[in-house]
Amino acid sequence: MRGGTSKGAMFLASDLPADPAARDDLLLRIMGTPDPRQIDGLGGAHPLTSKVAVISPSPDPDADVDYLFLQLGVDEAFVTDRQNCGNILAAVGPFAVERGLVEAGPDRTRVRIRMLNTGSLATASFATPGGEVDYDGDLAIDGVPGTAGAITLDFEGTAGSTAGALFPTGSVLDEVDGIEVTCVDNGMPTVLLRATDLGIAGDESPAELEADDAVAARVERIRIAAARQMGLGDVTGASIPKMVILSAPRRGGALTTRSFIPKRVHSSIGVLGALSVAAGALVEGSVARDLVAAPSPGDPFVVEHPTGHFDVDVALEGSGSGATVTRSAALRTARLIFDGVVFPRPRP
């Protein structure tokens, strides 16, 4: 399924081995990892298309289904549950209906999703006329051609869900490797930094940024150091925290962003990444203070990214590192692309 601006393989937990090592070995062979082209599997040769969701009925009375997100490497043989994915999340509600885990309503269906990677909750709501998921609609999201049916995602408990606090260093502004950063976790541990502090404009294309070895090395150095301050330990080889480079908005939004996730540069921005950017930029005194064009209360926070913009609805209460998140929501679309039997590559 496509979920937002990502694409992944969706599985019922009951169809996979219960043992995580056996499950991960199978998933690597299904997706064609390790191989830069993932030529012998379902993966699309980019981290954004090398994703898996594992879904099961939830034992939690607050949720209908459990969603475990797994990020697979492309050319490196790893499977990690250390990060969540809010784009693939958009496909979880429709998948739960398709597989009969949730009964669809006659017009719309709400699916409460426990996100096992972080323990936080999301409620997805989407059209199900006649009790069937309607993927069609008129919502365009940048990074995906055409339009599709809107899926609303409302989040609860995202603040600090991986790093323990919304501002995990205890401050909204820190200095790392000689430059100011803001470390924030509103569902995705994220380090915000200013493009000018890296000597770049901030609206470079993902390909230009990936080709700039000096910037990539500096960003990685800052990531490793900032992660320690965030209590994440040694993140060498880990896919969190994400690094988001900020500059002033170019097209009427709140900020321009370029996200290192963390090696490749995102062609748009993650959902939880964007919720974290908004929280970090809305708090007074963060690294975004002289860049952000903050929206009026009630208006969406418009995150500009390489292929357009992503509007999120984030509200904070309180100030400084004691601020709390009172609302986190976003609109996405998803699509069922293929339903069938996959034949994993045999073990070597």
* Binding positions for ligand NQM, rule: CB under 6 A: 5-6, 47-48, 85-87, 188, 239, 242, 261, 266, 270-273
What is residue 205's DSSP assignment? Answer: -
Q: Show the tokens assigned to 141.
A: 């999201």
Total number of residues shown for the chain:
348
Minimum CB–partner distance for residue 247 and ligand NQM (Å): 19
* Residue 316 to residue 182: CA distance in whole angstroms: 16
Residue 94 preceded by cis peptide, ω within 30: no
Q: How far does the chain reach from its first CA to its final CA, in angstroms?
A: 28
Residues 111/124, Cβ–Cβ less than 8 Å: yes
**C-alpha dist (Å) from residue 212 to 205, 206, 215, 334:** 11, 10, 6, 33
Whose Cβ is closer to ligand NQM: residue 74's or residue 104's? 74
Minimum CB–partner distance for residue 288 and ligand NQM (Å): 18
Minimum CB–partner distance for residue 3 and ligand NQM (Å): 8
Whose Cβ is closer to ligand NQM: residue 44's or residue 270's? 270
Minimum CB–partner distance for residue 295 and ligand NQM (Å): 20
Residue nearest to ligand NQM (CB): 270
Minimum CB–partner distance for residue 298 and ligand NQM (Å): 23
Helix (H), strand (E) at residue 113 = strand 108-115
Which residue(s) pair with 265 in the sheet? 260
Whose Cβ is closer to ligand NQM: residue 5's or residue 128's? 5
Minimum CB–partner distance for residue 160 and ligand NQM (Å): 15
Whose Cβ is closer to ligand NQM: residue 93's or residue 128's? 93
Minimum CB–partner distance for residue 115 and ligand NQM (Å): 10
Minimum CB–partner distance for residue 50 and ligand NQM (Å): 10
Whose Cβ is closer to ligand NQM: residue 112's or residue 266's? 266
User: Percentage helix, strand, coil, to 5, in the chain?
Assistant: 20, 30, 45
In the block, residue with structure tokens 């209590």: 231
Whose Cβ is closer to ligand NQM: residue 48's or residue 279's? 48
Residues 71/85, Cβ–Cβ less than 8 Å: yes
* Residue 205 to residue 305: CA distance in whole angstroms: 10
Whose Cβ is closer to ligand NQM: residue 94's or residue 128's? 94
The angle subtended at Cα 323 by Cα 317 and Cα 326, nearest 5°, is 40
Whose Cβ is closer to ligand NQM: residue 183's or residue 261's? 261
**C-alpha dist (Å) from residue 91 to 4, 85, 150, 272, 295:** 8, 11, 11, 15, 29
